[in-house]
Amino acid sequence: MAAKDPKILIIGCGISGISAALRLFKAGFRHVRILEATENTGGRIKTAKLGNTITEIGATYIHGPSEENPLFCLARDYGLLDPQALTPENQTMDVYEYPPWVGNWFSSSGQKLSAESMDPALEMFLELMYDTNPSEIDKECASVGHFIRSQAQLRTAEKWKDKDETTRQLLLCALSTMLKFECCASATPSMDEIDLAGFSVYKDLKGVDCTFPSGYESLIQNLMSELPADLVTYNCPVRCVHWNGKESGENTVTVECADGKRIAADHVIVTVPLGYLKKHHSTLFCPPLPAHKLHSIQKIGFGTTDKIYVEFESPWWDADCEVIYLVWKDEEDISDRVSDISKSWIRKISVFTVIKPSESHILCGWISGHEAEYMERLPEHEVRRSITEFVHTFTGNSAITPKRILCSRWFSDPWTCGSYCHLAIGCSAQDLENMMEPLPAKGDKSQPLQVLFAGEATHPCYYSSVHGALLTGWREADRLITHYSSVSPCGDSNQKL
Ligand SMILES: Cc1cc2nc3c(=O)[nH]c(=O)nc-3n(C[C@H](O)[C@H](O)[C@H](O)COP(=O)(O)OP(=O)(O)OC[C@H]3O[C@@H](n4cnc5c(N)ncnc54)[C@H](O)[C@@H]3O)c2cc1C
């Protein structure tokens, strides 16, 4: 048995690290410390401003804001949500019953299309997405992309048979628009890389997605205010977790920081993003991770979704518009890939969402995959030039000029290396189980629970989300609380690691 008042180190000060620390602290554990690589709290929760308007560089929505969602409950209890998000109607709505966004449609020949004329494409896409559930799936299809494409061809041949060829072609192109937008939800280069059976491992909660009027970081600030100010060490990247060792006397784990400092602990909770783990696992753990865990780290996908905020002098969309769909008229093959990324990366932006409420006129362009990664390497003036040309193509109005732009760059972030995880082809729920398994593995007789794993990519059904990450922090804190439940952990509350 480890010490009664264990020393617990948490690596990473994102929502999972913060929630683990808070849970442990509230349970009476006093030797808890977070080591964070950057100078910031929040990790992938990052609020910024474009002019006076709040923009979210990382997470935007509470997905499924309802009683079942602990993130919603926290935000509600801190008083951070709009009255609309708190209404019972909002909380009981199923994902597939969401009131559709008010959309404006533009085609690559510079025309505004009537929203009604594009409804069949929206309906078809929604139907196809709904049918990706396990009872409906075609066992021949390995990927969501393959399923959507093959089923769309079959179903549109029947359903759209009375439409003239030009309309049918345009609706098929609109399916490409939506498929590209779907890539952003999964942070994937293509829906051809998403496992069809694995797709339904993610569980939707009831509730119409809502945002934080004062920014997502307001949640982080509230959580942090409940922790002692000196609990986090910033600018402290961890280089290696030495586990199963005898280096530090009674403690079995030693954390080696980038500046060479070594800190002994009884337990370490690792919350670094999967993208970081993929790149650095071989140097981050000594001895190396067990093969099955490593295999899952390699198999689970971790891709990029970025946002490009663009501010205009005046809106070129309708006053009630919530989303702008951009349809390329040569994409009837229902494709979500761009053929020449260096020339045409911008084609991957298929949708702008309208930032509301806002006095200024700001759109958020969504881009995923290798095209997003390419965009991140471009200088800002080049992104701005491409966006300007892009808007001219779709509006047919070459007088429209963006005032300011602001881009996220998650792939280039050395502590994240992408945006969030997805179940790539061949992945199953077992891979997520492997991710969350502590070290040493079951059956090993060494000191238990030396290294624990939290973070969005370790949640069995809410991976990729903030509420999933939050729950994993609580889960790993509870694992330790249960472990010590027969021993009062409250020691000298002034003692620090
Ligand atoms: C563009 C984008 C949009 C998103 N939209 C949504 C959304 O609308 N709704 C939603 O629910 N989710 C969304 N997400 C996902 C959500 O943001 C994440 O799932 C969640 O914030 C992850 O929290 P975490 O604690 O697991 O990881 P993180 O927040 O990434 O925290 C990990 C921390 O570890 C630190 N770290 C890394 N390496 C080291 C090291 N060696 N030493 C010390 N510290 C280290 C990092 O700096 C970071 O602070 C989005 C993410 C992105 C990128």
CATH number for the domain that contains residue 157:
3.90.660.10
Q: Are residues 297 and 309 both part of a single domain? A: no
pLDDT at position 141 is 75
Residue 230, in any domain of the structure = yes
Confidence grade of residue 491 (pLDDT, cut at 50, 70, 90):
very low
Ligand 1 contact via 13 beta carbon (within 6 Å) = yes
Centre of ligand 1 from the C-alpha of residue 297, in Å: 16
Q: For residue 75, tell me if it sits in a domain.
A: no
In a domain, 150, yes or no: yes
Q: Decide: 375 in ligand 1 pocket, CB within 6 A.
A: no
Give 247's pLDDT tier (boundaries 50, 70, 90). low
Cα 307 to middle of ligand 1, angstroms:
15
Q: Are residues 248 and 362 in the same domain?
A: no
Do residue 230 and residue 188 come from a single domain? no
Residue 385: its pLDDT value, please?
A: 97
Residue 229 alpha carbon to ligand 1 centre in Å: 21
386 lies in which domain range?
Answer: 97-203+305-407
Mean of pLDDT values over 117-121: 97
Does 199 lie in the same domain as 219? no
Model confidence at 134: pLDDT above 70: no
Identify the residue whose C-alpha is closest to ligand 1 atom 5: 59
Q: Is residue 440 part of a domain?
A: yes
Tell me, yes or no, whether 254 and 380 share the same domain: no
Verify that 256 and 289 share a domain, yes or no. Answer: yes
Q: Which pLDDT score, from 0 to 100, does residue 245 have?
A: 80
Mean pLDDT of the chain: 94
Pocket test for ligand 1, best of 420, 432, 475 (most atoms within 8 A of CB): 420
Residue that is last in its domain, among 361, 376, 407? 407
Q: For residues 195 and 309, state if they share a domain.
A: yes
Q: What is the pLDDT of residue 96?
A: 77
- Are residues 327 and 381 both part of a single domain? yes
Q: What is the pLDDT of residues 310-340, one digit of tens each?
A: 999 999 999 999 999 999 999 999 999 999 9
Is residue 56 one of the residues assigned to a domain? no
> Is residue 80 in a domain?
no
Distance 466 CA to ligand 1 centre (A): 8
pLDDT at residue 99, as a whole number: 78
Task: Tell whether 30 and 113 lie within a shared domain.
Answer: no
Q: What would the mean pLDDT of 269-289 be, rounded to a whole number?
A: 98
For the chain, what is the domain count? 2
Judge whether residue 347 has pLDDT over 80.
yes
Query: Residue 404: is its pLDDT beyond 60?
Result: yes
pLDDT for residue 443 is more than 70: yes
Question: Is the pLDDT higher at 447 or at 191?
Answer: 191
Strand partners, 422: 301
| Residue where one domain finishes, among candidates 378, 407, 436 | 407
Domain end, chosen from 407, 441, 467, is at 407
**392 and 334 within one domain:** yes
Q: Considering the domain boundaries, does residue 71 fall inside one?
A: no
Q: How far is ligand 1, taken at its centre, from the CA of residue 469, in Å?
A: 8
Residue 123 falls inside a structural domain: yes
Q: What is the CATH number of the domain that holds 240?
A: 3.50.50.60
Residues 125 and 197 placed together within one structural domain of the fold: yes
Mutate to test the pocket of ligand 1, among 272, 435, 463 (most ligand atoms within 8 A of CB): 272
* pLDDT value for 2: 43
Q: Is the CB of 60 under 6 A from ligand 1?
A: yes
**432 and 296 within one domain:** yes
